[in-house]
């Protein structure tokens, strides 16, 4: 996992913060599949993800339209449903306009 | 670490994504101190953080003014400087307007 290489702002971010249940039952495979599938969606710009107690996945998108399209993608809808039934005790999704960014690179 | 309890949008998020150097040298203590200090700043709304290879810390704020104030806070400025000198190989900071959010709670 690297820091996402996103274009100059403005663009959109979806911050998905979650707490897992103890249930595994296909979680990892589905998470990997959704990550791969997201990359093929129109308007996808990148993703960053880490879990340490809480899980934080930030995906980056060109537009709100691209976010809506991904939210309604058929396989993703099924994964969201299984997430609520089995894998997540709690989650919060935040749709954000990235107004400004800056970075640092030691090299 | 819990999911941050933020008010209804709009509010601001700062997504700080980082890759660490192998250098420890006070990193954990400083990170904890900055987390505690952030909570006392005007306009602070909450924070979520996880590291798994990449580190993602999202802090939530009432306004751009609150974010600017925290960025310029004296102890935080020193920590940022040490971060660039010792602890971070690479980072990216994204300033975002949270336009919409929704959640799920199994309970």
Cross-chain Cβ contact B94/A91 below 8 Å: no
Q: How many CB atoms lie within 10 A of CB A79?
A: 18
Q: Could you list the residue range(s) of the whole structural domain that residue A90 is in?
A: 22-98
In a domain, A9, yes or no: no
- Kindly tell me if the per-residue pLDDT of A86 is higher than 80: yes
Sequence-ordered alpha helix ranges (H) in chain B:
27-38, 64-71, 74-82
Cross-chain Cβ contact A84/B100 below 8 Å: no
CB B101 within 8 A of CB A98: no
pLDDT single digits (tens) B62-97: 999 999 999 999 999 999 999 999 999 999 999 999
In a domain, A16, yes or no: no
In a domain, B5, yes or no: no
∠ at Cα B8 (B97, B76), nearest 5°? Answer: 50
Query: Residue A62 is part of a domain; what is its CATH number?
Result: 3.30.70
CA distance B31 to chain A (A): 15
In a domain, A14, yes or no: no
Using CA atoms, how far apart are residues B3 and B6, in angstroms rounded to an integer?
A: 9
In a domain, B1, yes or no: no
Using CA atoms, how far apart are residues B89 and B21, in angstroms rounded to an integer?
A: 5
- Kindly tell me if the per-residue pLDDT of B30 is higher than 90: yes
Q: Between residues 72 and 101 of chain A, which touch chain B (CB distance below 8 Å)?
A: 84, 88-101
Largest Cα–Cα distance in chain B?
45
N-to-C CA span, chain A: 18
In a domain, A36, yes or no: yes
pTM summary value: 0.97
pLDDT single digits (tens) A23-37: 999 999 999 999 999
Cross-chain Cβ contact B52/A1 below 8 Å: yes
In a domain, A42, yes or no: yes
Q: Is B23 on the interface with A (CB under 8 A)?
A: no
ipTM, two decimals, is 0.96
How many domains are there within chain A? 1
Cross-chain Cβ contact A92/B99 below 8 Å: no
Cross-chain Cβ contact A106/B90 below 8 Å: yes
């Amino acid at each position: 996992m690297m820091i996402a290489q996103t274009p100059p702002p403005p663009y959109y971010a979806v911050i998905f913060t979650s707490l897992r249940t103890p249930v595994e039952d296909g979680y990892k495979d589905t998470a990997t599949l959704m990550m791969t599938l997201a990359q093929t969606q129109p308007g996808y710009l990148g993703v960053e993800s880490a879990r340490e107690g809480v899980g934080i996945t930030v995906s980056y998108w060109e537009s709100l339209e691209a976010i809506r399209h991904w939210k309604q993608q058929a396989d993703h809808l099924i994964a969201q449903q299984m997430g609520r039934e089995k894998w997540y005790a709690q989650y919060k999704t935040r749709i954000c306009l990235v107004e400004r960014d800056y970075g640092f690179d030691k090299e």
